[in-house]
């Protein structure tokens, strides 16, 4: 079974702090994604990567950046956390070439981030 | 363009059937269905590719009407374990990103 592991289940940070959310997958998937989940809004794509050192903006990239130095690891960075970034963050991976149209996503259990 | 799911929420008794709809304003290559139980990660159910394909998995099946840009998820003789939030995701092209709907909350009562 594919395992996508997010380093923290719960995280509490102060406004202005730099925050790192880590995600590791163990199935050699090319594609990795970061989503944000808020009640009533569904899953919104923040950033994604189809290869090592490659990154592309999703639908809501403002206030975030990412890093993918190794194939199995994809990090989400909040440069200066703000209260409106309080949310559930989900990492996902998928096999195959670029795109999401034809492959299932495998999600991690999520990190619930609270910014105070 | 975010797909529209309906209904937003539904409450059923165990053994009843449910239908969840997903509709897009754009032509679609594929529709994806996921279920998320409370406090857990979304879990993949199935992908439907254009061509009016219907898929099934035990008592959960789905259809995809390419011309109408709509998909429906059918849950037959629902079980308590079916409770959760169901998300559809749509992709206009094979190499596009998926855009998820807002979800449909399904609650099954004993």
Number of domains observed in the structure of chain B? 1
The SS3 of residue A99 is coil
What are the structural domain ranges in chain A? 4-115
Which residues in chain B have their CB less than 8 angstroms from residue A40's CB?
102
**CA distances (Å), origin B16, targets A67, A75, B20, B32, B36:** 47, 43, 13, 24, 20
**What do you get for the CA distance between the two ends of chain A, in Å?**
37
Note whether B3 contacts A: Cβ–Cβ < 8 A.
no
CATH of the domain at B69: 2.60.40.10
Residues B48 and A71: their CA atoms lie apart, in Å, by 28
Whether A91 contacts A105, CB under 8 Å: no
pLDDT of residue A102: 77
Angle at B104 between CA A90 and CA A106, to 5 degrees: 30
Residues 42-101 (B) with a CB less than 8 A from some CB of A: 42-44, 47, 49, 87, 89, 91-101
CB pairs under 8 A between A and B: 68
Q: Confidence band (pLDDT; 50, 70, 90) for B39?
A: confident
Measured between CB atoms, which of A40, A99, A107 is closest to B41?
A107
Q: What is the pLDDT of residue A86?
A: 98
Chain B: residue whose CA lies nearest to A31: B97
Nearest to B97 among A45, A97, A109 (CB): A45
Mutate to test the interface with A, among B34, B97, B103 (most CBs of A within 10 A): B97
Tell me the average pLDDT of chain B.
91
> What confidence tens digit (pLDDT) does each residue in A75-103 have?
999 999 999 999 999 999 998 777 777 78
Cross-chain Cβ contact A99/B91 below 8 Å: yes
Domain range for B12: 4-109
Higher-pLDDT residue of A101 and A108 is A108
Q: Hey, are the CB atoms on B94 and A107 less than 8 Å from each other?
A: no
Interchain CB contact of A29 with B (< 8 Å): no
Is A27's Cβ below 8 Å from some Cβ in B?
Answer: no
Query: Torsion-angle region of residue A9: left (phi > 0), alpha (psi -120 to 50) or beta?
Result: alpha
Rg of chain A over Cα atoms, rounded to whole angstroms, equals: 13
Q: B20: burial class by Cβ within 10 Å (0-12, 13-18, 19+)?
A: buried
The DSSP code for A3 is: -
Tell me the two tokens of residue B78.
């629902």
Average of pLDDT values for A45-68? Answer: 94
Which among A4, A90, A101 is the nearest to B30, CB-wise?
A101
State the burial class of residue A64 (Cβ atoms within 10 Å of its Cβ: 0-12, 13-18, 19+).
buried
C-alpha dihedral sign at A3, A42, A95, B51: positive
Give the class (CATH, top level) of A4-115. Answer: mainly beta
């Amino acid at each position: 079974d594919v395992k996508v592991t997010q380093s923290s289940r719960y995280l509490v940070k102060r406004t202005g702090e730099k925050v790192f959310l880590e995600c590791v997958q163990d199935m050699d998937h090319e594609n990795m994604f970061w989503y944000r989940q808020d009640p009533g809004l569904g899953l919104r794509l923040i950033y994604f990567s189809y290869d090592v050192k490659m990154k592309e903006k999703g639908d809501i990239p403002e206030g975030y950046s990412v890093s993918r130095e190794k194939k199995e690891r994809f990090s989400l960075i909040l440069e200066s956390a703000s209260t409106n970034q309080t949310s559930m963050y989900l990492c996902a991976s998928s096999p195959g070439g670029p795109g999401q149209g034809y492959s299932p996503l495998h999600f991690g259990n999520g990190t619930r981030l609270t910014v105070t | 363009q975010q797909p529209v799911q309906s209904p937003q929420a539904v409450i059923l008794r165990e053994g009843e059937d449910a239908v969840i709809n997903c509709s897009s304003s754009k032509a679609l290559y594929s529709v994806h269905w996921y279920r998320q139980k409370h406090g857990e990660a979304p879990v993949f159910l199935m992908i439907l590719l254009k061509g009016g394909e219907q898929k099934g998995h035990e008592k959960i099946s789905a259809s995809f009407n390419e011309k109408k840009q709509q998909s429906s998820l059918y849950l037959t003789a629902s079980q308590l374990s079916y409770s959760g939030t169901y998300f559809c995701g749509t992709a206009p092209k094979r190499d596009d990103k998926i855009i998820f709907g807002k979800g449909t909350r399904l609650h099954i009562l004993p």
